[in-house]
Amino acid sequence: MPRIEPEYFAQPGEQAGRRAETRETSVTTAVAFYEELRVAYGFALPAGQMRVAVNAVFCPWTRSLKEGDHVVFIPPVSGG
Amino acid sequence: MNRFLIADTSVDIGTLRETLLKPEAGGFCTFEEWVRQTNDGRLVSAIGYEAFAPLVTSEGQVILDEVRERFDIAETCAMHRTGYLPVGDLAVWIGVAAPHRCAACKVCRYMIDEIRRRVPVWKREHYVDGQIEWESVIMSVDVTGQPGPFKTGGGHAP
């Protein structure tokens, strides 16, 4: 199974209780990976209210994941 | 050079301004966002800003490239702070130099709106009563992963 490297910011970071980790997973897309983590950590927001970045590039939730991918779930931004 | 800076310490704004001094520019407009002492009627002591820095830099540069393409400007740059900022601190600085004043002002407005909509920075309000809360924002995402319209759920808008 591929090992994926999620990094968490803002509310998901608090809910996960960590900033980053390496996880083995059998799922193959960013959205399925998020749903897996949502079950594990109880993330409040559905994927439809967030964006996702793989290897520091915004991408569609349907993006496939491979070994070593760095994944960041982007909750609604509030800069400024 | 990437002209969208993300900084975890204070930045010398005079240096940023100097990079915008272009002979073809006849107008210069800046916009600053400061940490305000109230949010939705509650007293604020500070705001903590957290950012996914690599994507802030790249998405910020995309915004700068957009305005260079869409508007008649000479040069622009912007800076967003991270970390713990007390009331009165500078959180965002935008500078735009253009041949004419209208474009400089218009681009400042465009840039702050796009930064607030697209750049991965999150603010956490620190209230005087000791409570600490993430600002809640409602955002929708379309099938391509692009953000749709959003609204704040009690935001610290300027």
- Condensed to tens digits (0 to 9), the pLDDT of residues B145-157 reads 666 654 444 446 5
Which residues form the domain of B65? Answer: 4-152
| Per-residue pLDDT, A80 | 86
User: Is residue B91 a contact partner of residue B7, using CB atoms and an 8 Å limit?
Assistant: no
- Condensed to tens digits (0 to 9), the pLDDT of residues B62-119 reads 999 999 999 999 999 999 999 999 999 999 999 999 999 999 999 999 999 999 999 9
- Mean of the per-residue pLDDT values of chain B: 91
What's the structural domain count of chain B? 1
| Chain B residue with Cα closest to A59 | B145
The count of CB pairs under 8 A between chains A and B is 97
Q: Which residue has the higher pLDDT, B17 or B145?
A: B17
The answer to whether position B84 is within a domain reads yes
Q: Is A60 on the interface with B (CB under 8 A)?
A: yes
The answer to whether position B118 is within a domain reads yes
- Condensed to tens digits (0 to 9), the pLDDT of residues B40-68 reads 999 999 999 999 999 999 999 999 999 99
CA separation (Å) from B85 to A48, A50, B74? 31, 26, 31
Nearest CA-CA distance, residue A38 and chain B, Å? 18
Q: Please identify which residue in the block is written with the tokens 């400042």.
A: B108
- Condensed to tens digits (0 to 9), the pLDDT of residues A12-67 reads 999 999 999 999 999 999 999 999 999 999 999 999 999 999 999 999 999 999 99
Taking an 8 Å cut-off on Cβ atoms, the answer to whether A56 and B138 are in contact is no
Q: Is A63 exposed, middle or buried (0-12, 13-18, 19+ CB in 10 A)?
A: buried
Give the fold, CATH level 3, of A3-74.
Answer: Ubiquitin-like (UB roll) (3.10.20)
pLDDT at B2 over 90: no
Residue B76, domain CATH: 3.90.1170.40
Instruction: Spell out the domain ranges in chain A.
Output: 3-74
